[in-house]
């Protein structure tokens, strides 16, 4: 069905929408900023090492003792902590990624939306309560995907230092284990706040290649302790996507969750996807009215209740899509995308496809528009929040060591002037001695 529609109805312009974009110009900006910041801290590291070498090797011990009061007793040992700080910041920058978290009620299609964005059926999806825990999808340079389970610790067990639970990180497992571990119907029941890290080959997904991390979640109506979810998994998210069911309306559980998010994160970036909008194809008479009703409720929720943006901006954060249609079209438009060692149903098109309702091209275009806006907001937000603090720290470190070397230079000049004056006095006294010796002889 999908193949026939693609062949018969899609022109050159529509054809581009069927395939996942090969480049993400907005997301590339984040990687470029990350690379620039890494280069800057490499220069700062070299700067700090030069300071270490100067105080350790090139500054004589006697001169160092004379200069130490003016230099506040600087020594190589005093500089070592700054060097370790620079290395720590470099490690954090290398790990920084753009993170997007998906939330919504059970069976609203969160996993299907992620699968559609990735262009492959990676996460388990279906009717009822499907995803039983958090699943984080990120890229890997390895040719085969794998998973790593991070079990939630007992909330009563605390570490000696912080008093917070210590999670248990398990060894890598085959990629197909995600279907068993994350599925709510699996016999291996995980706690709702457990985390499965799924590493998918970058070669099979251009989105993950750009340092994007996607976080799938259980339904917000599954566990009443949503505050723990937010603290454990959401505080570092750059964008939140609320996947709503277009066949109903925004539920209070969904609103309550994002009110809690908004109380912990200042003006979070939130998108609302009214999923399953293909159901409107069977009710053409009232589709526009229902769409307007949903739109106004979503805009009111973002602008008036949460106050995370203005109404005009909120209008651009609400979309009406069918993730199953997008996944069907994109999966069938891709070929040979299953990496070696993957399970048969992982990374392959949906079995038998999904029937595309009338107007699917418009919904596909809407989904592509959402992705374009989403990528820009994600990149801008991540660049600002992930790197702003590091930039300020870099400025502080550079200013600190510049101050040290400027003080060293100024004190050295004073030492030089003092040495010149002492030499002149010594030469004068020597001349007097020579004169006296001549008279005596």
| DSSP conformation letters of 92-113 | HHHH--EEEEEE-STTSSHHHH
Between 41 and 18, the higher pLDDT residue: 41
> Could you tell me the pLDDT band of residue 90, with boundaries at 50, 70 and 90?
very high
> Could you tell me the pLDDT band of residue 126, with boundaries at 50, 70 and 90?
low
> Can you tell me whether residue 145 is helix, strand or coil?
coil
Q: Is the pLDDT of residue 173 over 90?
A: no
What is the number of other CB atoms lying within 10 angstroms of the CB of residue 384?
Answer: 11
For the stretch 26-67, pLDDT in tens is 889 999 999 999 999 999 999 888 888 877 776 655 555 555
Contact (Cβ atoms closer than 8 angstroms) between residue 231 and residue 277 = no
Strand partners of residue 239: 100, 269
For the stretch 191-241, pLDDT in tens is 777 888 999 999 888 889 999 999 998 888 777 777 787 888 899 999 999
Query: In terms of Cα–Cα distance, which of 213, 209, 91 is closest to 141?
Result: 209
For the stretch 392-411, pLDDT in tens is 999 999 998 888 888 878 87
Between 434 and 132, the higher pLDDT residue: 434
Could you give the CA distance from residue 148 to residue 177 in angstroms, rounded to a whole number? 10
DSSP string for residues in 15-79: HHHHSPPS--HHHHHHHHHHHHHHHHHHHHHHHHHHHHHIIIIIS-HHHHHHHTTTTTS--HHHH
* pLDDT at position 393: 92
Residues 372-377: what's their mean pLDDT? 95
Q: Is the pLDDT of residue 244 over 90?
A: yes
Residues 302-316: what's their mean pLDDT? 96
- DSSP class of residue 156? T
What is the number of other CB atoms lying within 10 angstroms of the CB of residue 313?
Answer: 13
> Could you tell me the pLDDT band of residue 183, with boundaries at 50, 70 and 90?
low
Alpha helices in 316-359 (DSSP H): 323-333
* pLDDT at position 268: 94
Tokens of 371: 């992705």
> Could you tell me the pLDDT band of residue 418, with boundaries at 50, 70 and 90?
confident
Q: Is the pLDDT of residue 156 over 70?
A: no
Between 199 and 122, the higher pLDDT residue: 199
**Residue % of the chain over a pLDDT of 90:** 42
Number of residues that this document lists for the chain: 441
- Which of 158-167, 175-184, 362-371, 412-421 has the weakest average pLDDT? 158-167
* pLDDT at position 402: 87
Residues 71-81: what's their mean pLDDT? 63
Strand partners of residue 198: 137, 147
Contact (Cβ atoms closer than 8 angstroms) between residue 356 and residue 324 = no
The phi and psi torsions of 343 (rounded to 5 degrees) equal: -65, 155
* pLDDT at position 366: 96
Q: Is the pLDDT of residue 157 over 60?
A: no
Could you give the CA distance from residue 394 to residue 400 in angstroms, rounded to a whole number? 10
Q: Is the pLDDT of residue 340 over 60?
A: no
Q: Is the pLDDT of residue 162 over 60?
A: no
Q: Is the pLDDT of residue 166 over 60?
A: no
Residues 100-117: what's their mean pLDDT? 92
Residues 279-302: what's their mean pLDDT? 91
């Amino acid at each position: 069905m999908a193949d026939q529609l693609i062949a018969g109805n899609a022109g050159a312009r529509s054809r581009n929408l069927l395939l996942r974009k090969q480049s993400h110009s907005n997301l590339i900006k984040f990687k470029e900023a990350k690379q620039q910041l890494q280069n800057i801290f490499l220069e700062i590291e070299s700067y700090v090492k030069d300071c270490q070498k100067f105080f350790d090797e090139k500054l004589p011990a006697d001169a160092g003792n004379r200069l130490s009061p003016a230099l506040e007793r600087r020594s190589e040992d005093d500089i070592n902590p700054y060097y370790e700080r620079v290395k720590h910041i470099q490690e954090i920058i290398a790990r920084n990624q753009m993170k997007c978290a998906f939330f919504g009620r059970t069976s609203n299609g969160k996993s299907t939306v992620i699968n559609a964005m990735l262009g492959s059926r990676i996460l388990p999806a279906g009717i009822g309560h499907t995803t039983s825990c958090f699943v984080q999808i990120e890229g890997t340079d390895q040719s085969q995907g794998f998973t790593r389970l991070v079990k939630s610790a007992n909330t009563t067990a605390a570490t000696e230092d912080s008093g917070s639970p210590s999670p248990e990180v398990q060894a890598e497992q085959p990629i197909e284990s995600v279907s068993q571990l994350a599925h709510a119907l699996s016999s291996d029941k995980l706690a709702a706040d457990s985390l499965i890290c799924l590493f998918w080959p970058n070669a099979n997904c251009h989105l993950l290649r750009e340092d994007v991390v996607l976080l799938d979640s259980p339904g917000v109506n599954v566990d009443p302790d949503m505050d723990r979810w937010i603290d454990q998994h959401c505080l570092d998210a750059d964008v939140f996507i609320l996947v709503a069911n277009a066949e109903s309306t925004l539920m209070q559980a969904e609103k309550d969750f994002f009110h809690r998010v908004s109380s912990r994160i200042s003006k979070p970036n939130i998108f609302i996807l009214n999923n399953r909008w293909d159901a409107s194809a069977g009710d053409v008479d009232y589709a526009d009215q229902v769409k307007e009703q949903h739109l106004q409720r979503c805009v009111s929720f973002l602008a008036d209740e949460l106050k995370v943006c203005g109404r005009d901006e909120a209008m651009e954060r609400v979309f009406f899509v069918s993730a199953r249609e997008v996944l069907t079209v994109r999966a069938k438009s891709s070929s040979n995308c299953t990496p070696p060692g993957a399970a048969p149903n992982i990374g392959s098109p949906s079995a038998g496809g999904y029937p595309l309702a009338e107007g699917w091209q418009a919904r596909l275009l809407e989904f592509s528009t959402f992705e374009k806006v989403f990528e820009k907001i994600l990149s801008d937000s991540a660049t600002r929040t992930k790197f702003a603090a590091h930039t300020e720290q870099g400025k502080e470190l550079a200013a600190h060591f510049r101050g040290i070397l400027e003080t060293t230079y100024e004190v050295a000049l004073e030492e030089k002037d003092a040495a010149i004056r002492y030499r002149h006095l010594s030469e004068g006294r020597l001349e007097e001695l020579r004169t006296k010796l001549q008279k005596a002889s």
